[in-house]
Amino acid sequence: MTGAQRLPLPAALVAQARAYADGGAAPAEPRDAATVVLLRDGPTGPEVYLLRRQGSMAFAGGMCVFPGGGVDRRDFDDELVDRGLWAGPSPREWAARLGCEEPQARALVCAAVRETFEESGVLLAGPGPAEVVADTTAADWEADRVALESRELSLTAFLEKRSLVLRTDLLGAWSGWLTPVFEPRRYRTWFFVARLPEGQLTRDVSSESSSVTWLPAAEAVDQVERGEISMLPPTWLTCLEVAQHAGAAGVLAAAGGRTVEMFMPEVVADGGDFILSTPARYAALVDAR
């Protein structure tokens, strides 16, 4: 165990884990999801874009999270590739990076790009494989974003309408987290990283968030430890790891050599507290806190 004493679990979560261990609950089927750590360079290191989820949300209410969400059935549309709307590493290459089958990898990449646009207004797409959209703040872009969010418009139809290609090369694979078995809502989430494209601006557009902010990754870690904001452990650990790099370029370079291994935390005792287990690669980072 890493010694992450700074993130003790709430009593309610410990009770859920005990109920499951005693046979009082059955595990829920996890849903596939994608989340994107949106990055920009700041004066003290990489900054991350965070959304504070509405306190009324059933899952992670009040928590600070990265843009993302569940995979939609239309994210599996293979026409997107067949119609030449995909640029960058192929779905087969992404499958190797993400540790899953090719159709699932294609859907995860599509979900990552779609959810980032829906929740931040940032679009990882361009007129060609070496270009990226410079501005998505106009009213017509907002209308398309709302149509995507409401599922009135599919990602494939959106890209065709705009004569754009998906810039999958702007994404990097980072990590994978599976919600513990005792949680009533479970997600199998692939974490991606991406730099904020030049000229684009984030916008507070998500209906699921009460506020949004850019924070230096290191400051986000500190604010969690001071109790000023709340995060689920995977988000906190991701911020901690990102903070080890001098800038966004270093984070993306690190992602270039990664393949994702899905990790499911378990509740373990730590003195008088209960905490979640974490992957071994975070041990030294957490112990150094």
pLDDT, tens only, 21-56: 666 667 789 999 999 999 999 999 999 999 987 544
pLDDT at residue 11, rounded to an integer:
67
* pLDDT recorded at residue 3: 35
Instruction: Determine, yes or no, domain membership for 97.
Output: yes
Mean pLDDT on 86-110: 97
Whether 149 maps to a domain, the answer reads: yes
**Residue 174 falls within a domain, yes or no?**
yes
Mean pLDDT over the full length of the chain = 88
Mean pLDDT of the 67-87 span: 94
Residue 3 lies in a domain: no
DSSP string of 159-228, one letter each residue: HHHHT-EEEGGGEEEEEEEE--TT-SS-EEEEEEEEEPPTT-------TTEEEEEEEEHHHHHHHHHTTS
Domains of the chain: total: 1
Please say if the pLDDT value at position 270 is more than 50: yes
Position 6 scores a pLDDT of: 47
Residue 7 scores a pLDDT above 90: no
Q: Which residue(s) pair with 188 in the sheet?
A: 32, 178
Mean pLDDT of all residues in 199-216? 82
pTM: 0.89
The beta-carbon contacts of 225-230 under 8 Å, at least 24 apart in sequence, are 225/6, 225/289, 229/50, 229/52, 229/64, 230/62, 230/63, 230/64
Whether residue 12 has pLDDT greater than 80: no
Contacts of 261 (CB under 8 A, 6+ apart): 99, 176, 279
- Which residues on neighbouring strands pair with residue 193, listed in sequence order? 37, 172
* Residues 244-257 pLDDT 10s: 999 999 999 999 98
Domain of residue 82, CATH code = 3.90.79.10
- Provide the domain limits for residue 216: 29-230+245-266
Q: Please check whether residue 273 lies inside any domain of the structure.
A: no
Q: Please state, in angstroms and rounded to a whole number, the distance separating the CA atoms of residues 102 and 92.
A: 5
| Amino acid residing at 4 | A
Mean pLDDT on 170-175: 98
Domain contains 250: yes
Q: What is the mean pLDDT of residues 113-132?
A: 97
- pLDDT score, position 20: 66
**Has residue 287 been placed in a domain?**
no
Does residue 221 have a pLDDT over 70? yes
Position 64 scores a pLDDT of 92
> Is a pLDDT exceeding 70 seen at residue 217?
yes
pLDDT of residue 56: 47
Residue 95: inside a domain? yes
Question: Which pLDDT band, with edges at 50, 70 and 90, does 4 fall under?
Answer: very low
